[in-house]
Chains A and B, each alone.
Chain A
């Protein structure tokens, strides 16, 4: 059973990943899948920027541009940022709270496969008649009339991957609440765990409105219903409400874990305790709560009326208060610290001003009268890229450098990392800073081209050059990852030398059960406390060495997800859809359509029944095995050689 000792064949390795329920391996799958979709969406962005480099360019057609635009936004938010954050949550949160896995390892795997197959489904649209083309917001007044199957792919793909996200969110809530080691009270939890908890809670409350909206859109488009069709007594604005009731919390779902990652990085490299811990926790919760009260700021110009606009404007501006608290706390953590500017710290230092710039433009947009001017212009594009790239992407890149030693027992190259940072960071500001002014000069967003000599030409050109630099930065980061594969294993704990929380107390490579004995947490920053007291093991234990109970691997999550994937095709080619009836989209016979749906859902439900009827009690790793594994690991760390095969 030893995890390091065995060399497996390729097939066995693949099978291992298909069936794994280990949070560390699921983290790696999220990381790989998220990076893949990040690269695809990045490429789409580059195509758009090349089209906009010069006025009246014909690099891509208007229709293709709309598809690129939609797929870029949808993919980046749902299929790149979300899984990449889940990768770090999976890899780090159980270690931070002293757990051997998440609360529901089976659901963890199910969450991943639903996300992945939903994402694959969405991307098949490129090869099956065209991608969705109504923007990532897919407003019903536009998307209901989009010919072909693009929007159907969007609706069904997001429905499937959204279910995966919801499942993962619930899993993290339960994990963080119930699986903390003895002594890890709520107010001793590291900030990344806290933000993961709040963010998962937002997922729990925000994804159901999206699911409802997508379902109504599904029956509208594919089964002849009329929820959003005003000519048939429906109401097209309801989609916008449902979407934004989900959509605004979604941006906080993404940015809160990013805040958490920086709250881990900054104290380590300022070599100082996080300033204002309890106010950080409070601000996180407050942001999470307020995030639900502001959705209509995306709809100021739909004509909600002055009262609604005023109330939502004020509510939106209040979010700036807890956000500001956080920014000041980060600055005061750095202030007076003995600062080490490593690559993760560089990203943190770049993050603070960039994110603040995005927050300031956010408050500007929150002023409803001004938003009539800014709405649907490039100013908005600049705003959300400042918060998303400046806040989330920098966090992901910084955290990759920061946590690579724990996740892979290898370090990413510092020099290359610094170079990557500067190229990416400068490229980012070149791309988006000028877009504020493009917006103020009147350039609308989501246009495939523009006329020359309106004063927009130079800024668009510079913006495209910046985008290319960002592309180079990403390629360098991927290169860095590839180089690290060939580098020496680290075989140590506390790679940065100044780790504070529990995950740094563990020696890499980790055994699959993470903790030989459950640790006892004696205060905030437990590893720091133990280091101060000269504890060479990095932690004290809450229990003697005993049998460890671990979950069994299972292929069922993948089978369940494949079932939904098949059913989605049945719905997609439904003969009852408006487009199918109008002859603008191909369809299959009623029998085949219903047959596919029944077959697919049958597979899913069958797998669920199998799971429920057959008790899977997991297995125990006995003390003798634990000791053998620990010995193997120790020998591997000391000599670099894999031990005897047990």
Chain B
């Protein structure tokens, strides 16, 4: 039922406000994107630099984890605290992640093939 097309007239002040806010959001997205590229470079560098595998493996996984969080919060807008039902959405995302994590943990620890 959420199909109503919505037209809204904005006042000058509103217009300026939105413009400022959009600019700020854009800036933060570009920053996040830069950080992601940096992290990727670090990951490649640590692999190329021939560090011990016992260091490289968990380190790269950690960097990947950070990027997942960035992806969710910066690019998929989970950081937006005012979004509709954001609490439920976070609960479902992290609940699902937790359950999936236990599967991996289980396969890596107690199930031995």
- Known contacts A177-B88, A292-B102; is A100 also within 8 Å of B1 by CB? yes
Q: Are A178 and B85 in contact (CB under 8 A)?
A: yes
A617 within 8 A of B: yes
B3 partner residues in chain A, CB cutoff 8 A:
549, 551, 615-618
- Are A549 and B103 in contact, CB atoms less than 8 angstroms apart? no
Report A515-541 CB contacts with B as 1/0, cut-off 8 Å: 000000000000000000000000000
Q: Is B112 positioned at the interface, with any CB of A under 8 Å from its CB?
A: yes
Number of A-B pairs whose CB atoms are under 8 Å?
Answer: 50
Tell me, yes or no, whether B76 is within 8 Å of chain A by CB.
no
Q: Are A549 and B102 in contact (CB under 8 A)?
A: no
Chain B, residues 62-99, CB within 8 Å of chain A (1/0): the string is 00000000000000000000001100100010011001
Which residue of the partner chain B has the closest CB to A201? B92
Does A189 count as interface, using CB distance less than 8 angstroms?
Answer: no
Contact residues, B33-85 vs A (CB, 8 A): 84-85
A305 within 8 A of B: yes
User: What separation, in Å, do the CA atoms of A100 and B1 have in the docked complex?
Assistant: 9
A549, B96: Cβ atoms closer than 8 Å: no
Instruction: Count how many chain B residues have C-beta atoms less than 8 Å from C-beta atoms of the other chain.
Output: 19
- Contact: A296 with B111, CB < 8 Å? yes
Q: A294-312 vs B: 1/0 string, CB under 8 Å? A: 0010000000110110010
CA distance A550 to B3 in the complex (A): 10
Bound Cα distance A491, B50 (Å): 79
Q: How far, in angstroms, from A292 to B106 measured CA to CA in the complex? A: 12
A578 at the interface (CB under 8 A from B): no
Given contacts A177-B88, A205-B96, A307-B110, contact A617 B5 (CB under 8 A): yes
Q: What residue of chain B has the Cβ atom nearest to residue A237's Cβ? A: B113
* Chain B residue contacts of A173, Cβ below 8 A: 92
Residues of A571-627 at the interface with B, using a CB-CB cut-off of 8 Å, are: 615-618
CB interface residues, B 1-43, toward A, < 8 Å: 1, 3-5
Contact residues in B for A550 (Cβ distance below 8 Å) = 1
Specify which of B1, B85, B107 is in contact with A551 (CB 8 Å cutoff).
B1
Complex CA gap A616/B5 in Å reads 10
Provide the bound-state CA to CA distance between A261 and B14, in Å. Answer: 50
Pairwise interchain contact A205-B1, C-beta atoms closer than 8 A: no
Q: Are the CB atoms of A101 and B1 closer together than 8 Å?
A: yes
Q: Are B88 and A205 in contact (CB under 8 A)?
A: no
Contacts of B112 on A, CB cut-off 8 Å? Answer: 304-305, 308
A293 within 8 A of B: yes
Q: Measured between alpha carbons, how far is A100 from B92 in the docked complex, in Å?
A: 25
Tell which of B1, B88, B106, B110 has the most Cβ of chain A within 10 Å: B1
Q: Which residue of B lies closest to A299 (CB)?
A: B111
A235 within 8 A of B: yes
Interface pair B4/A549, CB less than 8 Å apart: yes
Residues of A within 8 A of B111 (CB): 241, 296, 304-305, 308
Complex alpha-carbon distance, A235 and B107, angstroms: 14
Interface hub of B5, B84, B106, B112 (most chain A Cβ within 10 A): B106
- Report Cα–Cα, A163/B88, bound state, in Å: 23
Give B72 Cβ to nearest chain A Cβ, in Å. 17
Residue of A nearest to B107 (CB): A241
Residues of A with C-beta under 8 A to B5: 615, 617
Kindly list chain A residues whose C-beta atoms are within 8 Å of the C-beta of B85.
177-178
User: Quick check: is A245 within 8 A (CB to CB) of the other chain?
Assistant: yes
- State A237–B110 Cα separation when bound (angstroms): 15
Smallest beta-carbon distance A259→chain B, Å: 21
B86 smallest CB distance to A (angstroms): 12
Q: Are B1 and A617 in contact (CB under 8 A)?
A: no
Given that A177-B85, A307-B110 are known contacts, is A205 also in contact with B99, CB under 8 Å in the complex? yes
Q: Tell me, rounded to whole Å, the shortest Cβ–Cβ distance linking A226 to chain B.
A: 17
Q: What's the Cα separation between A101 and B96 when bound, in Å? A: 27
In A550-567, which residues have CB < 8 Å from any B CB? 550-551
Closest A residue, CB atoms, query B100: A205
Annotate A397-415 by CB proximity to B: 1 below 8 A, 0 otherwise: 0000000000000000000
Q: With a CB–CB cut-off of 8 A, which chain B residues contact A101?
A: 1
A206 to chain B: closest residue by CB: B99
CA distance A525 to B4 in the complex (A): 32
A102-131 interface mask toward B, CB cutoff 8 Å, 1 = contact, 0 = none?
A: 010000000000000000000000000000
Query: Residue of A at shortest CB range from B85?
Result: A177
Chain A residues whose C-beta falls within 8 Å of the C-beta of B84 in the assembled complex = 178
Residues of A with C-beta under 8 A to B88: 177
A292 CA to B101 CA, complexed, in Å: 11
Chain B residues within an 8 Å CB radius of A289: 99
A245 lies within 8 A of B103 (CB): yes
A617 to B1, CA, bound (A): 8
> Chain B nearest CB: distance from A513 CB in Å?
10
Give 22 pairs: A residue, B residue, CB < 8 Å, sorted on A. A173-B92, A177-B85, A177-B88, A204-B92, A204-B96, A205-B95, A205-B96, A245-B103, A292-B102, A293-B102, A296-B111, A304-B111, A304-B112, A305-B110, A305-B111, A308-B106, A308-B112, A311-B110, A549-B1, A615-B3, A615-B5, A617-B4
Interface residues of A (CB under 8 A from B): 100-101, 103, 173, 177-178, 201, 204-205, 235, 237, 241, 245, 289, 292-293, 296, 304-305, 307-308, 311, 549-551, 615-618
**Which B residues are within 8 Å of any A CB, using their own CB?**
1, 3-5, 84-85, 88, 92, 95-96, 99, 102-103, 106-107, 110-113
**What are the nearest 8 A-B pairs in CB distance?**
A308-B110, A617-B3, A307-B110, A292-B99, A618-B3, A308-B111, A549-B1, A177-B88
